[in-house]
Structures are given as C-alpha cells and as structure tokens.
Amino acid sequence: QVTLKESGPVLVKPTETLTLTCTVSGFSLSNAGMGVSWIRQPPGKALEWLAHIFSNDEKSYNTSLNSRLTISKDTSKSQVVLAVTNMDPLDTATYYCARCYDSGDRRYFDVWGRGALVTVSS
Amino acid sequence: SYELAQPPSVSVSPGQTASITCSGDRLGDLYVYWYQKKPGQSPLLVIQQNSKRPSGIPERFSGSKSGNIATLTISGTQAMDEADYFCQVWDTTAVFGGGTKLTV
C-alpha cells in the first residue's frame, strides 16, 4: 500500500523558513517513473503546485515562488523535504505531498498525503 | 506561466448530468487530469489522460476533450459528488485550474 505523510510545524512566524517533510512508504523514491510533488491549498482557494523532485533527483519549481522554494530527498529515509523561505500570512495553507506518476508526457498525482495545515502568524 | 480556466461554480439537481469545463492554450496537446476535493479530505484523481477512469472511480464520471476545452461529466449526479473539482496538466511544470464548486 502506497502512503505519504506530511510532517512539520503547524505555526510559523512571518519571515521564518518553513520546513516540511514527506515520508513515503510502499514505493521507493528512486523508482523510475515516480516522483513526488508538493502542492498547497490556501483556505477557500485553489490547489497550487509548488515543486517536484524526479526519481533521478532533477527538480522543478513553480516559477512564481522559485526563489523561495527548495526541494530535496533522502532516498534511504524515504523522505522528501520542502523548504519555503520568508513565510508570509498569505502562505497559510494546507500543504500536501503527492506521488506523481511520470511517463514523460503523462504526469499526474495518483496518491496524496492527508495534508498539513500551516498557519503563518506572529 | 500557463493558465487553466474553470467556471467557479456549477449547480445540478440530483440525478441530472453535470458538466465542468477546463480551457487553456494548447490544451489539445496536453493530457488533462481531474481531481475531486471534498472539505477535510485529500484530492482524489477521478479522470486521467483526458478520459480514463482510475480503478475504483464510479462509471458516472467521464472525461472528454475537444480542441482546447476539456470536460468532466458526471452522469446521474449524486449528493456525494458535491465537491470542488480541479483540472490539471503538466506543461513545463504542473498546473491546476482554479477549481469549480459543484453543488448538488
């Protein structure tokens, strides 16, 4: 059974850096054809894709947030980490990690974590 | 950056057919995916590669695409289908539409 679980702080202060960890099970982060993305949803708003890490460790970022995001993985720990710098109240959202099925022209999110609500407030 | 447009809301009576559209430049060249999102739950993939239903998704969910417009159709809509629906493509990066709130 494939599962993903997000962990991290529930509250961060403005200007701080948010670090979230996604722990996966049921598949390997080195499996060709599989990757992991981070996606968020602010309250009452749309899903917003943030970043992706491919099985070969290549990374891709939302161009609107590129300078603030860093994604990495530790395959031995089955973990994907997202860092978001300079947090703002507008970054308050539920943050999801999701497995991405990747076959080149077909990339979609077939398994999602339960999400982690992060609030930015002083 | 690439953008996908969806109607903010669609309303349907129980048992009727609901149609939700997703439009974007060059959508004809991309595979479209649809997700159902209910409050307090994680998104659920309901349509992959324009028109394929993943295992476990009811037959009343279907997808199609014509030119630069993709459509999610729910036939015989049930109360349990009330949710937000998002389309998604992967252009150079993943992109989600703005979402459509389906009211049954």
* pLDDT tens readout for residues B13-72: 999 999 999 999 999 999 999 999 999 999 999 999 999 999 999 999 999 999 999 999
pLDDT confidence of residue B2: 87
Mean pLDDT across A2-10: 97
Mean pLDDT across A16-32: 96
The answer to whether B83 and B38 have CB atoms below 8 angstroms apart is: yes
| Residue among B43, B48, B90 whose CB faces A47 most closely | B43
Chain A residue with CA closest to B37: the answer is: A47
How would you class B74 by CB atoms within 10 Å of its CB: exposed for 0-12, middle for 13-18, buried for 19 or more? buried
Mean pLDDT across A62-78: 94
Tell me the chain A residues in contact with residue B98 when contact means C-beta distances shorter than 8 Å. 46
User: How far, in Å, are A7, B40, B78 from residue B92 at the CA level?
Assistant: 28, 30, 36
- Is A110's CB within 8 Å of B54's CB? yes
| Residue among A46, A105, A114 whose CB faces B31 most closely | A105
- Is B88's CB within 8 Å of A108's CB? yes
Chain B residues with a Cβ under 8 Å from any Cβ in chain A: 1, 31, 33, 35, 37, 42-45, 48-49, 54, 86, 88, 90, 92-99
Q: Is the pLDDT of residue A66 over 90?
A: no
Mean pLDDT across A44-65: 95
Q: What percentage of chain A reaches a pLDDT higher than 70?
A: 100
* pLDDT tens readout for residues B72-90: 999 999 999 999 999 999 9
Q: What is the Cα–Cα distance from B34 to B49, expressed in whole angstroms?
A: 9
Q: What is the 8-class DSSP label of residue B48?
A: B
pLDDT confidence of residue B37: 98
pLDDT confidence of residue A83: 98
SS3 state of residue A79: strand
Q: What is the Cα–Cα distance from A75 to A98, expressed in whole angstroms?
A: 16
| Residue among A46, A49, A112 whose CB faces B94 most closely | A49
Q: Is the pLDDT of residue A16 over 90?
A: yes
pLDDT confidence of residue B1: 79
Tell me the chain B residues in contact with residue A116 when contact means C-beta distances shorter than 8 Å. none
pLDDT confidence of residue A104: 76
| Residue among B35, B45, B93 whose CB faces A60 most closely | B93
Who contacts B56 (Cβ-Cβ below 8 Å, separation ≥6)? none
Q: What is the Cα–Cα distance from A11 to A34, expressed in whole angstroms?
A: 31
